[in-house]
Chain A
């Protein structure tokens, strides 16, 4: 597990560190409600501290650490990777898409050579990996394509099959789930996956989202954000491991809130994969501790306001109930002269 960041920001340090500048602060207003907040992907989104989102995949200084953690988690619990039998063409489509996007994001780190006749050679310099393979031919990769791909990208992947007037979460590899379980949810419809989320069903937010996704044309890319909070710099907060991370929600109140409590933001990219027609969700998780949030006055004040105003059922669903008041107080104190 990546340990908590040890460095404290110099109050006068300029520019702010990358992790702050590139943080996808998710709140456009002082209160938060669920909405179908999709927008076109690929354009930089300016924030009070910098910008994020210029490319679909972001590769940062945690790449190698995250890769190691992902590989370790998959080895310890292979059920984080799920694939129903009919999804292999979609998986290959996702592999090619992700490798292409990795190269586009960091051509100095990654190279995908097209050798013709469906043959490729892939080089991943940070991980010291090189692999020749033939598109669609499982035997040319050392393991299942999804399992092979997962540690090489910092995003989680969920693949949706479109049929019978709905979308079905029929494959995915998820090692940074925010309190859900890929092995339990695999095979569910999009509406079922979001079953337990409060408010979104009567408000038709989720059925509109499904309608929107079903109308995506090949190659179209959209994005949205989601958020919660996590104690510690911990990516894996899946339901499976709740006994490991759950107690921290209580214990954090006796700890250094500024260092331990993190705002957790998911940037989700929604892509209609071009040749299989499956919808790919790329879920990238960003964590920033309160003390880093506090260094951006607009973020400090806005997050405090959101935490104060958030309705109880939503706070409860997001797991914030125990500490949200303390977090808001901490942020306000950090802003006091």
Chain B
């Protein structure tokens, strides 16, 4: 497309290195593909004498682990998280919500097997393997949504809106929700 979309995140191919200035770290692996990266981070931390708290698991487990670690962490702490884009965005959003600044969160995205799409009409979030620009059936209201190139870091989701709105008759009220 040749247009820079600065709300859609772009991920470098290589994982960022363990931050040599860290004094403590939480390392999260959100899928099997992420485990080698997480292990390398943990090893680097260990070699530097930095206490590392690791978790390999699904998103819910990772978020619980993160909450617990951040409750006791002191400045000098870093979060290193690896996994699919949708889960990494959620973890990063949670860390920010709890007070982390940008450089305290190091992320590696192993791939984008799915995207979360917020239906701006009914507020449901639909997980899909459609690409940006594709069409998704909303899990909430059932309508076809255009998967738009606009990402909310806070929600960890792409914007979806009615794809064929202009072809339809005008809706008199908010779309029916489930």
Chain A residues near B (Cβ < 8 Å): 76-77, 79, 164, 181, 183-188, 191-196, 198-199, 201-202, 239-251, 313, 322
Contacts and interface: CB of A to CB of B under 8 A. Distances in A.
A184 B166 contact: no
B152 A191 contact: no
Interface residues of B, number: 33
A242 B168 contact: no
Interface string B160-171: 011001111111
Given A193-B7, A195-B5, A188 B165 contact: no
B162 A195 contact: no
Contacts of B112: none
Given A195-B7, A243-B171, A244-B172, A249 B149 contact: no
Contact of A187 (B120, B148, B154, B170): B154
Nearest to A250: B166
9 contacts: A187-B154, A195-B7, A239-B159, A242-B120, A242-B162, A242-B165, A243-B168, A246-B170, A247-B169
B171 A244 contact: yes
B23 interface: no
Contacts of B148: 196
A169 B102 CA distance: 16
Contacts of B102: 164
Nearest to A251: B170
B73 interface: no
A76 to B, nearest CB: 8
Contacts of A183: 120
B43 interface: no
B118 interface: yes
Nearest to A183: B120
A79 B121 CA distance: 11
Nearest to B158: A184
B101 A184 contact: no
Contact of A243 (B118, B149, B165): B165
Interface string B1-37: 0011111100000000000000000000000000000
Contacts of B118: 184
Contacts of A202: 3-4
A336 to B, nearest CB: 31
Interface in B92-139: 101-102, 118, 120-121, 123
Given A184-B152, A187-B152, A187-B153, A247 B7 contact: no
Contact of B3 (A77, A193, A201): A201
A195 B8 contact: yes
B166 A249 contact: yes
Contact of B167 (A77, A198, A250): A250
Given A185-B152, A201-B6, A240 B166 contact: no
